[in-house]
Amino acid sequence: MKKAILAGLIAVLVIACAEKPEEKPMYTLFVGTYTNGDSEGIYTYTFDANTGELSSQKLAAKITNPSYLAISEDKKNLYAVQETADFDSLGGGVSSFRLKGDVLELLNSKGTQGVNPCHVSLSGTGYLAAANYSGGNFSIFSLVDDGALADDPQIIDHNALDTVKTSHAHMAQFNTDGLMVTNLGLDAVKRYNLKADKFVPAQQATIAFEDGAGPRHFTFGNNRKMLYVINELNSTVSVFEKDENGNYLETQVVPTLDSTYQGKNSCADLHLSTDGKFLYGSNRGENTIVIFAVDAISGKLELVGRESVHGDWPRNFTMDPTGEFLLVANQKSSNISVFKRDVENGTLTFLSEADLPNPVCLVF
């Protein structure tokens, strides 16, 4: 009898241990903000990937309008734009920080030589690019050994490319082919390759969009054979496929808004799930995250649905490192919304929110 009871207890313990979920780590979330209100700069949170809880809000760095952030692959440096017109006599700035856990130590800051830089990215090979929205140009800095910004950036100006439209460089992102830059004002994505330490126009120098589309952010899918671009002004997502010559050709344009929505809207951010199955975009105005399923063969999009962001003016959003949560920075309502993500069907379930003045960028 005792042996039977003991065997039963052991069996229960074995089952309990087997069913115990794997403990996920805690992550640090960095938040860029606009500082024309109550915010003072870059903040950090501790994110619990087991529950989706945000806690331990701290001010990590006092800096003006750090509206976009980027972290190096080795996690040793963080970079932030200063989206202003008066960092120096030429426009806004960008700052380099040494990153130790959730502590930021300023290395240096440089002028981007363009007004209102709104995006920053890293090549992983020693370059940083900053897109100057109002300046209509973008800056490419070399990085020194400790991650600080070198002097004398390469400046590429889009203002002379069109005498009718006004240049607004919105995203300058490195990729395996070189560098791609969205220009919202010119309705184009510009492509560049690195030659002899300078970035020059690529063979397909321009990917053209419909007038008034306003391409803003992009991401790649299917081993970079697919290019997805969210258009701020006409609230659409454009889908491109790379041909055998390395050129991107448009295959689909889909709306981001519900057909019954009649208000104003400006699309903002765009992200693909790590498994490549779902594409998400933010609608500022309708105040939703639109969800698309991605066809595994064609790369084309099919609408899954939309989820309220539980806030106003969702600018940047991100998925946590596990891919199980999606977090949204709601600029005007001053809150960060946390959603549980169904990895099988792509849908989102609202969990909680954290209050923070004017959040606009989220980076783990």
pLDDT value of position 9: 52
Question: What mean pLDDT do residues 343-363 have?
Answer: 98
What is the per-residue burial (b if ≥16 Cβ within 10 Å, else e) of 184-219? bbbbbbbbbebeeeebeebebeebebeeebbbbbbb
pLDDT value of position 233: 98
Q: How far apart are CA 185 and CA 211, in angstroms?
A: 9
pLDDT value of position 161: 94
Contacts of 308 (CB under 8 A, 6+ apart): 287, 288, 350
DSSP code of residue 102: T
What is the per-residue burial (b if ≥16 Cβ within 10 Å, else e) of 51-64? ebebeeeeebbebb
Show the tokens assigned to 227: 């290019």
Show the tokens assigned to 296: 């595994």
What are the strands of the beta sheet with 41-48, ordered from one edge? 53-62, 41-48, 26-33, 359-363
Q: How far apart are CA 27 and CA 282, in angstroms?
A: 23
Instruction: Quickly list H helices, the chain.
Output: 2-19
pLDDT at 7 over 60: no
DSSP-based three-state secondary structure for 363: strand
pLDDT at 15 over 90: no
DSSP-based three-state secondary structure for 65: coil
pLDDT value of position 8: 53
Question: What mean pLDDT do residues 264-277 have?
Answer: 98
pLDDT at 127 over 90: yes
Show the tokens assigned to 273: 């799930």
Backbone angles phi, psi at 15, to 5 degrees: -65, -45
Question: What mean pLDDT do residues 186-213 have?
Answer: 97
Tokens 């900053």 identify what position? 130
pLDDT value of position 101: 86
Q: How far apart are CA 97 and CA 119, in angstroms?
A: 16
